[in-house]
Chain A
Amino acid sequence: KQEVTQIPAALSVPEGENLVLNCSFTDSAIYNLQWFRQDPGKGLTSLLLIQSSQREQTSGRLNASLDKSSGRSTLYIAASQPGDSATYLCAVGTGANSKLTFGKGITLSVRP
């Protein structure tokens, strides 16, 4: 059974700092890995999707990497801003329909 872990559960940084969010998973037989952002009481916004054959994806100030063999992914956020404050969820797609298994998320707070 796939398990996804995100540690720490919460993180507080000053504005402007570059930061890395970590994600690990137990079963390397994945189709893809996806990073999401969730604001309080809201649904999920897809940030980046990395296919199993890829090593990284970039979108603006975000860069996500994937090391499938070691079961790890990182989300790099450059020059963090208060508007980046949210919960960031990592999810891996496996099995039929590439169903997603989610981590518990990392709640990020960027202080002005």
Chain B
Amino acid sequence: GAVVSQHPSWVICKSGTSVKIECRSLDFQATTMFWYRQFPKQSLMLMATSNEGSKATYEQGVEKDKFLINHASLTLSTLTVTSAHPEDSSFYICSARDPGGGGYNSPLHFGNGTRLTVT
């Protein structure tokens, strides 16, 4: 089945530094990937839609200069948290839809998430 790989699974960084999270589709090409953020006991909140070869589309209230998204190939999207602060500590999850699986009605496949802790 379709697999989405996310790396790293956890990271601890100091306040003010930047952290890059990778999301790869392993056995399919994804023109679109989605980045979510999840706080404890809360639902997943869509941060942005990553589009291969073009700019990402950010949800309202998400700072595009802080959360840099690059979708340089059909199998890789990256999220960089710039100048991280403790309030950026969260669980970040990416997802992708296998375009060969039925368009908008194919299920989204999720990575295992990245636990970011900013000290």
Contacts and interface: CB of A to CB of B under 8 A. Distances in A.
A binds B: yes
Nearest to A5: B43
Given A89-B44, A98-B104, A102-B43, A41 B93 contact: no
A100 interface: yes
24 contacts: A31-B104, A32-B105, A36-B110, A42-B112, A42-B113, A43-B4, A43-B93, A43-B110, A43-B111, A43-B113, A44-B93, A44-B110, A46-B108, A49-B106, A51-B105, A89-B43, A91-B44, A93-B104, A97-B32, A97-B49, A97-B104, A99-B34, A100-B44, A105-B43
A4 interface: yes
Q: Report the contact-size class of chain A (Cβ under 8 Å from the partner).
A: 20 to 34
Contacts of A43: 4, 6, 93, 110-113
A111 interface: no
Contacts of B111: 43
A97 B41 CA distance: 26
Interface SS of B by simple majority: strand
Interface of B: 4, 6, 32, 34, 41-46, 49, 91, 93, 95, 97, 104-113, 115
Nearest to B109: A46
Contacts of B109: 46
Given A34-B107, A43-B93, A4 B32 contact: no
Interface of A: 4, 9, 31-32, 34, 36, 41-46, 49, 51, 89, 91, 93, 96-105
A38 B37 CA distance: 14
Given A4-B43, A42-B112, A43-B6, A99 B49 contact: yes
B46 A99 contact: yes
Given A42-B112, A43-B6, A100 B107 contact: no
